[in-house]
Amino acid sequence: MVLVLALALMASCREQVDSTTTGSEIQAIFPQGQKGPAEYFTGNAYNYGLVPADSTYTTLIGNVYFEPGARSNWHTHPGGQILIITDGVGFYQEEGSPKKIMRKGDVVKCPPDVKHWHGASPDTGLQQLYIVPNTEKGIVNWMEPVTDEVYNKE
């Protein structure tokens, strides 16, 4: 009887863990926000601003939700950028380097003026907090879209 109860508890715990870490059911902390323009994003990406840049903090903070397959164009940040992944699975790639997988809990530093892109994996979306420091230097310089060939390359 005790064993049966213990097994039942284990099973229910496992179900709870699985529901937050697999499939397309990823968790949002912040509201979805506004759809990013097709000029700068492939697929559907939504931006929700948290801290606007001003002369005191010189730091822009917000959240982007990338639907599966969605990604930014190539771009640079004059003052750098820090990404904090709060759920889902995605990619980060600097020009000339292989793409890296990003998962919940990952922190990625994008150095100033290094050309890169970020976005969701093909099958799972991505919840990404972004911090753009040193905004007195500029926020983002947008470049060309990430082609399917680059996005799908291992």
- Altogether, the residues listed in the chain come to a count of 154
Helix (H, G, I), strand (E, B) or coil at 135: helix
Q: Should residue 127 be labelled a site residue for Mn ion when binding is judged by CB under 5 A? A: no
**Nearer CB in complex with Mn ion: 81/135:** 81
**Nearer CB in complex with Mn ion: 21/134:** 134
**Nearer CB in complex with Mn ion: 54/113:** 113
User: Which residue number places its CB atom closest to Mn ion?
Assistant: 81
d(CA 127, CA 141): 22
| DSSP per-residue codes, 7-52 | HHHHHHHHHHHHHHHSTT-PPPSS---EEPPTTTEES-EEEEEEE-
In the complex, the smallest distance separating the C-beta of residue 62 from Mn ion, rounded to whole angstroms, is 12
Residues that contact Mn ion, how many (by CB under 5 A): 1
**Nearer CB in complex with Mn ion: 81/93:** 81
d(CA 32, CA 47): 7
CA 122-126-131 angle, to 5 degrees, is: 135
In the complex, the smallest distance separating the C-beta of residue 31 from Mn ion, rounded to whole angstroms, is 21
Residues 47-106 that bind Mn ion (CB under 5 A): 81
In the complex, the smallest distance separating the C-beta of residue 145 from Mn ion, rounded to whole angstroms, is 14
**Nearer CB in complex with Mn ion: 89/132:** 132
Task: Give 94: exposed, middle or buried? Use CB within 10 Å, 0-12, 13-18, 19+.
Answer: middle
Residues 2-21 that bind Mn ion (CB under 5 A): none
In the complex, the smallest distance separating the C-beta of residue 56 from Mn ion, rounded to whole angstroms, is 23
Interacting residues toward Mn ion by CB under 5 A: 81
